[in-house]
Amino acid sequence: MSPADSTLPNGPLLKEPHPDTRSADPAAGEGTLSPLLSVRGLCKYFPVKSKGLFQKQVGEVRAADGITFDLMPGETLGLVGESGCGKTTTGRTILRALEPTSGEVWFRLGEEGADPRLPVKDGYVDLAKLSEDQLIPLRTRMQMIFQDPFSSLNPRMTVRDIVGEPMLIHKICKGSELEDRISDMLTKVGLKPEHRTRYPHAFSGGQRQRIGIARALMMNPSLVVCDEAVSALDVSVQAQVINLLQDLQAEMGLTYIFIAHNLDVVRHICDRIAVMYAGRIVELAKTEDIFKHPQHPYTRLLLSAVPNPDPDTPMNMDFTGEVADPGNLPQGCAFAPRCPLCTEICKHDTPSLLNVSKDRYSACHHSDQLF
Ligand SMILES: Nc1ncnc2c1ncn2[C@@H]1O[C@H](COP(=O)(O)OP(=O)(O)OP(=O)(O)O)[C@@H](O)[C@H]1O
Ligand SMILES: [Mg+2]
């Protein structure tokens, strides 16, 4: 069966509830679209070792624990949650910058599908299972944009070398063709071709972020993980860079996973939002639904910290307690110790991410009380 034949949410790759909104709704005109990315039960546990000579493993930090979602081509999915909830780990594990502990990351192939080195199934490969060699032809398709452009750009390299390096590493082009491509890309991100001879220190924070974006997009990727890509910038510069990311998405057909603390930023740029708590997705829905009617108590807690919440958004809950430690999680729902709706079941059973209403997924034993 080819991916186009697969009727989501029960396509050939899918073995569990399918937190996808768009393809499940043929009325939206997107019923035949296949996801670019299907993540299933992805886990990344970091070992906690004892001090001393033998460093025995004494525990683990469950930084990403059973992450499951679909990402449609051209979509922007926001990943939000408090510091330490596992957003960066999730992004990096999807891109295989970190080795997954378990789970599947199905990525839809383009031309690479013809590469005999790749074990292709229905037009997809499971990135989590590929060897380093098998990953090489796919590295150009997946890129990351980081929070701090100053530390992610080599201060000893000129802009030309920073932006052109990936093309040389992957032997895509060189010489005058490379120079032309660098000039084009610098223009695309709002810099000037004559900036190519300057070093990163000679740019403002916003301009440095544009250099980082140029480098990430040089290889014409399809999936880009933006990890707090605008968090370090002034508000006015943030808006410019977000607009740039949106323009480039339309122009280059990019699909984004957009990691951010700032819910206002996420609201502006994302089609859907996945709210994470202690390594798990606790709510996944269209952006508008998340803000208008959050269906997980933790989402309500996050929104209560937004300066200008929607006056119609229900917030009548009192929260107590500390953020969960992913290295020492309680039994049952990790949010239970802070949750005003907590009952006995929450202390024993970890709730799964389930389809609670149209296009909405929540992991809460009491989500019916939040309608
Ligand atoms: N290399 C590592 N070794 C051990 N623990 C790690 C490692 N990287 C991350 N962690 C732990 O995993 C958890 C998730 O970290 P992660 O950086 O993914 O969170 P985050 O949501 O991106 O946080 P922030 O918003 O502060 O960037 C944290 O408890 C963190 O301490
Ligand atoms: Mg992070």
The CATH number assigned to the domain holding 359 equals: 3.40.50.300
- Strand 223-227 and strand 142-145: pairing? parallel
Q: Which residue has the tokens 């999807």?
A: 94
Residue type, 12: P
* Nearest ligand, measured from the Cα of 261: 1
Q: What is the pLDDT of residue 22?
A: 39
Q: Whose CA is nearest to atom 26 of ligand 1?
A: 83
Residue type, 203: F
Distance 70 CA to ligand 2 centre (A): 21
Ligand 2: centre distance to CA 260 (Å): 8
Please check whether residue 198 lies inside any domain of the structure.
no
Name the closest-CA residue to atom 4, ligand 1: 46
List the 142-145 sheet strands across, edge first: 142-145, 223-227, 255-259, 76-80, 272-277, 280-286, 360-362, 354-357
pLDDT (tens digit, 9 = 90+) per residue, 227-273? 999 988 888 899 999 999 999 999 999 999 999 988 888 999 999 99
How much distance in Å is there from the Cα of 38 to the middle of ligand 1? 23
Domain count, the chain: 1
Nearest protein Cα to ligand 1, atom 2:
46
- What is each CA distance from 66 to 119, 155, 276, in whole angstroms? 24, 38, 11
In a domain, 53, yes or no: no
Kindly identify the ligand whose nearest atom is closest to the C-alpha of 86.
1
Closest CA to ligand 1's atom 31: 84
For residue 341, the enclosing domain spans 3-48+60-141+221-370
User: What is the rounded CA–CA span in Å between residue 225 and residue 142?
Assistant: 8
Residue of minimum CA distance from atom 29 in ligand 1: 84
Please tell me the distance between residue 136's alpha carbon and the centre of ligand 2 in angstroms.
25
- Joined tokens for residue 276: 């994470």
Query: Which atom of ligand 1 is the closest one to the Cα of 81?
Result: 21
Residue 168 lies in a domain: no
Helix (H) / strand (E) containing 240: helix 235-252
| CA–centroid distance, residue 46 to ligand 1 (Å) | 9
Give distance in angstroms: CA of 276 to centre of ligand 1.
13
pLDDT confidence of residue 314: 67
pLDDT in tens, the chain (371 residues): 333 333 333 333 333 434 443 344 333 334 457 899 999 999 999 998 888 777 888 889 999 999 999 999 999 999 999 999 999 999 999 999 999 999 999 999 987 767 888 899 989 999 999 999 999 989 999 999 988 767 788 999 999 999 999 999 888 888 999 999 999 999 999 999 999 999 999 999 999 999 999 999 999 999 999 999 998 888 889 999 999 999 999 999 999 999 998 888 899 999 999 999 999 999 999 999 999 989 999 999 898 877 766 767 766 667 777 888 888 888 999 999 999 999 999 999 999 999 988 889 999 999 888 76
Q: Are 64 and 93 in contact (CB under 8 A)?
A: yes
Q: How far is the CA of 87 from the centre of ligand 2 (A)?
A: 6
Tell me which residue has its CA closest to atom 11 in ligand 1: 63
Cis? peptide before 35, omega within 30° of 0: no
Phi and psi at residue 109, in whole multiples of 5°? -85, 150
Would you say residue 278 lies in a domain? yes
Q: What is the distance between the alpha carbons of residues 31 and 8, in angstroms, rounded to a whole number?
A: 8
Residue 324 lies in a domain: yes
State the residue for tokens 């929260």: 319
**Which residue among 44, 60, 89 is best mutated to probe the pocket of ligand 1, counting the most ligand atoms within 8 A of its Cβ?**
89
DSSP state of 205: H
Its pTM stands at: 0.89
Are the beta carbons of 5 and 339 closer than 8 angstroms?
no
Does some domain include residue 81? yes
Is-contact 100 44, C-beta < 8 A? yes
User: Please, are residues 78 and 283 in contact by the beta-carbon 8 Å criterion?
Assistant: no
Inside any domain, residue 19: yes
Q: Per DSSP, what are the bridge partners of residue 106?
A: 38, 126
**Ligand 1 atom 17: the closest Cα is on which residue?**
88
Give one word for 181, left, alpha or beta, with left for phi > 0 and alpha for psi -120 to 50: alpha
Q: What is the DSSP string of 120-149?
A: -BTTEEEGGG--HHHHHHHHTTEEEE-S-H
Q: What is the pLDDT of residue 32?
A: 52
Query: Which ligand places an atom closest to the C-alpha of 227?
Result: 2
Q: 47 near 56, Cβ under 8 Å?
A: no
Give the ligand 1 atom nearest the CA of 82. Answer: 25
Looking from the CA of 314 toward its CB, the CA atoms found within 13 Å total 12
What DSSP state is assigned to residue 21? S
Nearest to 260 by CA among 125, 121, 80, 124: 80
Q: Tell me the three state secondary structure of residue 9.
A: coil
Q: Is residue 206 part of a domain?
A: no
Alpha helices, H only, 253-292: 263-269, 287-292
Ligand positioned closest to the Cα atom of 79: 1
- Residues with beta carbon inside 6 Å of ligand 1? 46, 61, 63, 81, 83-89, 326
How far from the centroid of its chain's Cα atoms is residue 248's Cα? Answer: 17
Amino acid (one-letter) located at 359: D
